[in-house]
Amino acid sequence: MTGRKPILAIAAGWTLVVLALGALWRVEALSLLLLLGLVIPALASLPGANRDERERALDREASHLALGAVYLLAVGVVIHALLVRGTHPDPRWYLVLALPLLVRPLVTVGRGRGPRILGLGLGTAIGILWLAFALLGHGLGTAGLIESAVGGAILLATALGRGWPRAGGVLLVALGVLFAVMLGARLAHVPGATAALMVLLLPLPLLVAGGALLVSGTGEPSPEE
Amino acid sequence: MRHALTNRIRRHRALAGLTQAELARRVGVSRQTVVAMEKGSYNPSVTLALRLARELGATVEELFTLEADHDG
């Protein structure tokens, strides 16, 4: 299988560059070798990499196990911090937890069920979560009702997307942009990992849900619909 | 009751006078994949099964059999 040669050449070239950086600049530059762990599997998964179906299946299985191992580590760190030490862990660990929790179902639902179901499911989930947090956090007082209105708006936009995916999609994207703008001012004052987590949990899912509904509204309906 | 997929790739390859490496090259997979298929530890996709059948001069049904596995 000749497809491995370019990947090995790229890996060897990068290793030489990093070794040179380590020797000429600072030894910590050797940490850039860690990127190979991301780049090599990514290159190997490209169609031109000439890997056969069994090798791709093995790659996917290995990636699945690697994800499980990393997730287990993050869960362990978070639970240990919360339950044993009684403090919050470094926010970066929440980020490590949130990324697979978001990306995996997005890919599974998006590719398995299509953009319409992804947009509707994601919009509904965000709306319900928002409502639950608003009511549990603030009760039925004025603050709780104002916060709940946001969740209600998300659910309404999603419900609209059932019959009119483009309209629902535009509204969800608009809400996502609104959240992004509102968050923008606050992000400068929080640590990078916290800022990334806020973007990941608030505007980004809305933008993805809206985008998915817009995509579903532009294509032909599938035969079973 | 489960069903187990068995294959006769090795027998048909021998009849065709091909080595594992030659068959692998013809169907566009690695030799290790041919070894795994012959051992039954990897079940090929429909596309690969059709390629194997074409290269070995057999039908897919001649190469692969779905057998009832009463242990399941």
- In this prediction, residue B71 carries a pLDDT of 55
- In this prediction, residue A4 carries a pLDDT of 67
In the block, tokens 């048909």 appear at B12
In the block, tokens 């049904």 appear at B61
Token pair of A75, please? 């869960």
Mean pLDDT of B19-36: 96
Structural domains of chain B ordered from first start: 2-58 (1.10.260.40)
Dist CA A165 CA A156 (whole Å):
12
A85 touches chain B (CB under 8 A): no
Kindly report the nearest CA distance between residue B31 and chain A, in angstroms. 9
> What ipTM was assigned to the predicted interfaces of this complex?
0.82
- In this prediction, residue A76 carries a pLDDT of 95
- In this prediction, residue A218 carries a pLDDT of 76
Radius of gyration of chain A (CA): 22
- In this prediction, residue B1 carries a pLDDT of 65
Is B33 close to A1, i.e. CB distance below 8 A? no
pLDDT at A67 > cutoff 50: yes
| Identity of the residue in B30, B36, B47 whose CB atom sits nearest the CB atom of A1 | B30
Tell me the per-residue pLDDT of A180-220, one tens digit each, with 9 for 90 and over: 888 777 777 777 777 777 777 778 889 999 999 999 877 65
pLDDT at B10 > cutoff 90: yes
Enumerate the residues of chain A whose CB falls inside 8 A of the CB of residue B32: 54
Give me the percent of chain A exceeding a pLDDT of 90: 37
Read off the DSSP letter of residue A35: G
